Structure 1
């Protein structure tokens, strides 16, 4: 097991470029199963979760050529559908929540799929109801094996239909769209997720020959086709990395420029950091964060303490609430962070309190943060990363803190951020990976 050892309190400076979007990568790479033709994907993040999915496809019989770490050429012309019934698949698929994304393509092309009990972050319940109910409405017959904890899905006669999703789940929407792309007839999905990653998936599928309209809205219409073809696709910059780097610059009082940030796909992210009092300058497709001695949280118009909460797109992404919470600890002013979606995602605040932050964990979903206004710096401690986003939030706190911090269980961070220690060292951070 590895750990990060961080000497905090150093101002950083320089430029950094975000990796390809992790959440988009898991959908796009799964979609290569829809066609026996060649699909080339560029700007792939070299991270644990994505590499595990690529490895899984290889074991399924997909031909994979990786000329560079950020580019893969896939050809799924010899898929071994029997592998999905094996214990090896249940073990490997169970390590990665993203493995659920191969169900839609497998149903569309082969009429059957298997979903193992998913792994991933320990951030609370993440049920598969939206996926399974959506598949059922297309005519799929699911069977749950309680002994081995996996679903067997039979979709030999999928037909288009109207459905109203019980929640605008991103992975649920993506899975259903991929399954419906080759179902007989027309499928209409209302209350669909419309995040940029879903838009990217739909645009890619249309280049492959799918017929999807309503892209960018919460009402998608998919006219099923008999076959899909090869294509080339480039992943967007990872918006979560962009937000993380903004928070890093603010907490460490650093001047950092984020190159090729994908400004057209960031939604409310810049505005929410500005609400925290952080100065941002948008220049072309770059974000420049100047060195800032102090930042003040903007109160509500009536003078009351603001609440920042997550919401489906185009609302603020839940993956950045951990970063905003850390940023608030050194702001002037107070804020209530309301994490609606996951009931365990704020439990990492106990580590921040050990570092000296003033936080009241009201319940599993809400935390009140009283900013220290830099009158007292956080102090370095030994802590453990509970999930990807909280792990990076703790890393940002450690880089701003006084003294040495040790962050354990950094495999969680590696799942979502590529070469993060190397990239931070180029900005001047004192961070080492140790055993």
Structure 2
């Protein structure tokens, strides 16, 4: 188990380039299974979860070539479907939540798709009903082995259908879209997720020959085609990492520039940090955060009541950044209620922040009230364990702001979503060491 040793309390300075988007990569990589032609993808992040999916694709018979940093070609012209029924696949598929999205492309192109119950973050229940209900409406027959926790769908032919999704699931929408592009006839998906990364998937599929309209809205209309071709695709920068660096700058009173952030795809993220009193400046396509030497003050609602920040499907605030917002609030002037609606275990890391001296009341599994210190009382260094990707980075930000030396264990969780994070932080002045 890896460990980060962090000497906190230092100001940072410089610029940092966000990696390619993890959540986009998991969708885009699964889409290469839809065509036998060559697909080139740029700005792929070098992180554990993405590398696991690339390894799984290789075992499926996809030809993968690395062309340079973050650039790969993929060709799925000799897919090995027997691997799907192997014990090895049942192990490999469980190690990654994003593996669920191979089911739609495999079903559409080969008439069958299987997956063991996927793993991922321990942040609460993350059901798969939306995925399979959508595929069933397209004509798939569903099977599930309770003993092996192994899912399967099969179909001789998929037929377009109208569906109203029970939840605007990003991965569920992606899976259904990838199946529907090769279905016969028209598919309408209402209450579809419309995150920028889902938009990126739809734009890529359209370049491959798909006919998807309504991209960016919650109603997608897909006219099925017989086959898809190759394309080139470049990932967006990771909005979750961008939000993490905004929080880091504020908590360490640092002046940082975040490069090439694709402002038009950030939605409400910059404004949500501004509600905490953080100055977020737009400079071209960069974000500049000046050093908050005098701290930052949380805004109340216009009637004077306490600010509440909650997550919601896009264009609402992404749940992946609530952990960052919570940590940043611990040193603000004022108070805020954090309401995590979507995952019931995601706030359980706050006990570690309380141990560091943060003033947080965990009201229930979904809500926490944070009373900011206004930097009048520094967080104390401590030893912590990272429970999931986003909580892990939140604890890392807390440690970088705290006086003294902290250690974070189980940093493999952080590596799942952040590329070479220790090296990149050292480049802007952080005192962080990776201990194997």
Q: Deviations over 1:363-405 (max 9, x none)?
A: 0000000000111000000000000000000000000001010
- Structure-2 separation of matches of 1:181 and 1:90: 27
Shift of 1:140: 0.7
Please state how far the C-alpha of 1:224 moved relative to its aligned partner: 0.5
Match of 1:200 in 2: 200
Residue 326 (structure 1) aligns with: 327
1:375 aligns to what?
Answer: 376
- How far has the Cα of 1:148 moved from its partner? 1.0
Q: Which runs of 4+ in 1 moved over 2 A?
A: none
Provide the C-alpha distance between the structure 1 equivalents of 2:307 and 2:2, rounded to a whole number of angstroms: 38
**Partner of residue 425, structure 1:** 426
Where do residues 1-400 of structure 1 align in structure 2 (5 Å cutoff)?
Answer: 1-293=1-293, 294-400=295-401
Cα offset, 1:262, TM superposition = 1.0
CA distance in 2, matches of 1:115, 1:214: 29
**More deviation, 411-420/149-158:** 149-158
How big is the shift at 1:69? 3.3
Deviations along 1:71-127, one digit per CA (max 9) or x if unpaired, are 110000000011111110110110001100100100110010002111000000000
1:15 is paired with a residue of what secondary structure? strand
- 1:227-272 residue CA offsets vs partner (Å, 9 max, x unmatched): 0000000000000000000000000000000000111100000000
CA distance in 1, matches of 2:152, 2:190: 26
Between the aligned partners of 1:85 and 1:229, the Cα distance in structure 2 is 27
Question: Is the partner of 1:139 in helix, strand or coil?
Answer: coil
**Matched positions, count:** 435
Instruction: Please state whether the residue corresponding to 1:119 is helix, strand or coil.
Output: coil
Matched residues in 2 for 1:107 and 1:183: separation? Answer: 10
Determine helix, strand or coil for the equivalent of 1:204. Answer: helix
Mapped to 2, the partners of 1:433 and 1:93 lie a distance apart of 28
Structure 2, unaligned runs of 5 or more: none
Query: TM-score, with normalisation over the residues of structure 2?
Result: 0.99
**Which whole-Å deviations, capped at 9, do the CAs of 1:320-345 have from their partners, x for residues lacking one?**
00000000000000000000000000
Q: Which stretch shifts more, 345-354 or 151-160?
A: 151-160
Deviation of 1:146 after TM superposition, in Å, equals: 1.2
- 2:247 match: secondary structure: helix
* 2-structure distance, mates of 1:156, 1:377: 63
Please state how far the C-alpha of 1:155 moved relative to its aligned partner: 2.0
Structure 1 residues without counterparts, runs of 5 or longer: none
Backbone CA RMSD of aligned residues = 0.5
Q: How far apart in 2 are the matches of 1:152 and 1:42?
A: 31
Shift of 1:68: 1.9
Distance (Å, rounded) in 1 between the aligned partners of 2:147 and 2:369: 42
